[in-house]
Amino acid sequence: MTQDKIYAKDQDGDVPFRFNQSVADVFPDMLQRSIPGYAATIEAIGSLAARYVTEGSLCYDLGCSLGAATVAMRQGIRVTDCRIIAIDNAPAMLKRCEEIVSAEDQQSATPVETRLSNIEDIKISNASMVVMNYTLQFLDIDSRDAIIARIFDGLLPGGLFLLSEKVIDEDPSMEELLVDLHQEHKRRNHYSQLEVSRKRAALENVLIPETVTAHRQRMVANGFAHTAVWLRYFNFVSIVAIKK
Taking each helix axis from N to C end, the angle separating 38-52 and 68-76, rounded to the nearest 10 degrees, works out to 40
What's the number of CA atoms in the CB half-sphere (13 Å) around residue 70?
A: 30
Pairing of strands 226-233, 236-242: antiparallel
Q: Could you say which DSSP state residue 9 is in?
A: I
Helices of type H across 204-235: 212-221
> Which pLDDT belongs to residue 106?
63
Report the number of distinct structural domains present in the chain: 1
- The closest alpha carbon to 82, from 122, 50, 123, belongs to 50
Structural domain for 216, as ranges: 1-244
**Per-residue pLDDT tens for 50-79?**
999 999 999 999 999 999 999 999 999 999
> Which pLDDT belongs to residue 39?
95
CA gap 107, 234 in Å, rounded: 35
Please check the confidence at residue 16 and state whether its pLDDT lies above 70: yes
CATH of the domain at 216: 3.40.50.150
**Per-residue pLDDT tens for 179-229?**
999 999 999 999 999 999 999 899 999 999 999 999 999 999 999 999 999
Maximum C-alpha span of the chain: 50
